[in-house]
Amino acid sequence: GENVEQHPSTLSVQEGDSAVIKCTYSDSASNYFPWYKQELGKRPQLIIDIRSNVGEKKDQRIAVTLNKTAKHFSLHITETQPEDSAVYFCAASDGNTGKLIFGQGTTLQVKP
């Protein structure tokens, strides 16, 4: 089955800097890769996703890149703001069942 690893586990940046979170997956048949943001005490919410036929997708200050050959994908946040502070989860779809397998999460702290 699918296995997803996420790095780093914690990340601290200054406001205005960029943040990058990386994930690797094991199932070459995976074709869907979402990112979820979970603020403290809140529910995870989908912020961006990418499919395997696309190499990059942007939404304002957030972008996701996918390298299918290397089986890794990354979340890029530019011009970080204190409200970006949260736990970010990557996920990959299991190639057989389609169900999402989540990474362990990255706690991002943006210092004002």
Partner 1 sequence: DAGVIQSPRHEVTEMGQEVTLRCKPISGHDYLFWYRQTMMRGLELLIYFNNNVPIDDSGMPEDRFSAKMPNASFSTLKIQPSEPRDSAVYFCASSFRDVEKLFFGSGTQLSVL
What residue ranges bind partner 1 (CB under 8 A)? Answer: 32, 34, 42-46, 49, 89, 93, 97-105
Min dist. Cβ of residue 44 to partner 1 (A): 5
C-beta of 85 vs 105, nearer to partner 1: 105
How long, in residues, is the chain?
A: 112
Task: Tell me the closest approach of the beta carbon of residue 94 to partner 1, in angstroms.
Answer: 9
Distance CA 64, CA 55 (A): 8
Smallest Cα–Cα separation from 44: which of 7, 90, 76, 13?
90
The nearer residue to partner 1, 34 or 80, going by C-beta atoms, is 34
Is residue 21 within 8 A of residue 75, CB to CB? The reply is yes
Min dist CB 60 to partner 1, Å, is: 19
Residue nearer to partner 1 on the CB measure, 18 or 96 = 96
43 φ/ψ angles, rounded to the nearest 5 degrees: -85, 150
